[in-house]
């Protein structure tokens, strides 16, 4: 049973990792849009509301779609001065409590309230308040939901791993990533995805 749930956690982590790595390529699109916007404004004195809005849409998508990946890689904020001195079991308990009391409820709340936010934008055909802005505001609002769903999926995978470490058979502890005390990063067997 324990090995099966770790396999499920690994599958969740794989999905989050693939989406996070693919979403990282949005950085190139974002840089291109920024360069074009700056060149048009500086040398051709042409301002574009649509380009500026596209910048923040791409920035938002980049941030939101890589949140879960960043969490799995340990790129999130942590109080390292305290955390690095703790024993693996204490780190695991802190992770367990943080996931159950903060991360997962927050993701659920964002998805619960955000679904109405995105659906309403889609139903009314919401677009930019600026006539020269981008249409289909529901797209970026839906990416908010997808981003937090991916973060929630990453958190659920971590919850599975930490639960196996804390409550599962001792022989599986090394397979969770918590036994080494390095709870800040999950190392997948195949990092090429």
Cβ 58 vs Cβ 26: under 8 Å: yes
Domain that holds residue 116: 2-175
Backbone φ and ψ of 125, nearest 5°? 65, 40
Q: What is the dihedral of CA 94, 95, 97, 102, to 10 degrees?
A: 120
Work out how many domains the chain is built from and give that number: 1
**185 falls within a domain:** no
Sign of CA dihedral 56, 142, 146, 77: positive
pTM confidence score: 0.86
Give pLDDT tens digits along the chain (193 positions).
678 999 999 999 999 999 999 999 999 999 999 999 999 988 888 888 889 999 999 999 999 999 999 999 888 776 666 777 888 889 889 899 999 999 999 999 999 999 999 999 999 999 888 888 888 899 999 999 999 999 999 999 999 999 999 998 888 887 787 766 555 555 444 444 4
Q: For residue 119, is it within any domain?
A: yes
């Amino acid at each position: 049973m324990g090995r099966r749930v770790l396999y499920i956690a690994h599958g969740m982590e794989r999905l989050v990792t693939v989406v996070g790595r693919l979403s990282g390529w949005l950085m190139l699109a974002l840089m291109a849009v920024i360069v074009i916007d700056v060149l048009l404004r500086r040398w051709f004195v042409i301002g574009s509301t649509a380009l500026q809005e596209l910048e923040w849409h791409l920035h938002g998508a980049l941030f939101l779609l890589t949140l879960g990946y960043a969490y799995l890689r340990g790129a999130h904020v942590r109080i390292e001065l305290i955390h690095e001195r703790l024993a693996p079991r204490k780190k695991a308990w802190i992770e367990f409590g943080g996931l159950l009391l903060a991360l997962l409820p927050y993701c659920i709340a964002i998805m619960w309230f955000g679904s109405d936010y995105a659906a309403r934008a889609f139903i009314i055909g919401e677009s930019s308040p600026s006539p020269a802005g981008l249409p289909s505001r529901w797209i970026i609002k839906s990416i908010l939901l997808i981003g937090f769903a991916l973060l929630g999926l990453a958190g659920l995978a971590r919850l599975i791993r930490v639960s196996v470490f804390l409550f599962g058979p001792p022989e599986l502890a090394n397979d969770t990533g918590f036994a080494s005390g390095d709870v800040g990063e999950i190392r997948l067997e195949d990092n090429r995805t």
